Chains A and B, each alone.
Chain A
C-alpha cells in the first residue's frame, strides 16, 4: 500500500500508517485527511504537532489517556478531554492523529 503526496508514492502499512517516519511532511497529513474526508484546521495541527514532539522526546506514540492528559496540561483543560479530541479525530485521537502525524500506531492500542 501507499499514499501519493506531491507526486511521490510513500509506503504505508496495511492500516495506512506511514512505513518510514522520515517520509513525513505536512502534505502527508493533508493527503491522509482528504482520504478520510476531513479538513485539517489549526486545532488538528496543534495535536499533530504535539504528537510529533512527544515522539521526538520519548520515541513512542502516547496512549490516548496519556495524550489527553498531556494536551490538557499544554493547551488547556478545554482541549484536554476526550470529547474535544474525538470531535477533531472521530476515528480515535490516538489512532487517527498518530497516523496523520506519521507516527506508528500508539503502544497499547489494539
Chain B
C-alpha cells in the first residue's frame, strides 16, 4: 500500500504521574488500527513504561502495562529500547515485559518484539522514519 507511512513513537517519560505514556500507547493502537507501519522506542525514563511486574494499587491509577502485550496483535512488533537508558538505570532486557508477536511470513512463529539498540543505532532507525512523535 503506497500510502502507508512509517510512524515512530518515542517514549521518554515514566509511566505514571503524567498522561504521556498512556496517551502514546492509545495513539499507537489507533495508528496501527489504520494499518500504518508503527514502531516504538523507549528511552530515558520511558524504559520504565515496559518494566515487568508493575503494581499501581497504591497509586489509584489503572495499571495499563498489560496493554503493551497486545501490541503484537496490532502488528506493532518493532519495539526499540535504548541500551544506554537501560544501563543508566541498572536494568537489562530481562527486567522488561516479554513482548512477542507472531510472524505471519514465518508460519506464525513467535518472536521477540523488543530490540535493545545503542543510541547510535537508534539515531539511524529514526533517520528512516516518515513521521516521528515524541511523548
Using a CB–CB distance below 8 Å, which chain A residues touch chain B? 57-60, 62-66, 69-70, 107-108
Using a CB–CB distance below 8 Å, which chain B residues touch chain A? 26, 29-30, 32-35, 62-64, 66-67, 69-70, 73-74
Contact of A70 with B67 in the complex, beta carbons under 8 Å: no
Contact of B73 with A59 in the complex, beta carbons under 8 Å: no
A-B CB pair tally, cutoff 8 Å:
38
Q: Is the interface of B mostly helix, strand, loop or mixed?
A: helix
Contact of B73 with A57 in the complex, beta carbons under 8 Å: no
Chain B residues with CB below 8 A from A60, complex form: 29, 67, 70
Contact of A59 with B64 in the complex, beta carbons under 8 Å: yes
**Contacts A107-B29, A107-B30; is A62 near B73 (CB within 8 Å)?**
yes
Instruction: Across the interface, name the chain B residue whose C-beta is closest to A57.
Output: B66
Contact of B33 with A65 in the complex, beta carbons under 8 Å: yes
Instruction: Across the interface, name the chain A residue whose C-beta is closest to B70.
Output: A58
Q: A58-B67, A107-B30 known; 9 other A-B pairs, CB under 8 Å?
A: A58-B69, A59-B66, A60-B29, A60-B70, A62-B73, A63-B32, A63-B33, A63-B74, A70-B73
CB distance from B129 to the nearest CB of A (A): 21
Contact of B66 with A108 in the complex, beta carbons under 8 Å: no
Chain A residues with CB below 8 A from B62, complex form: 59
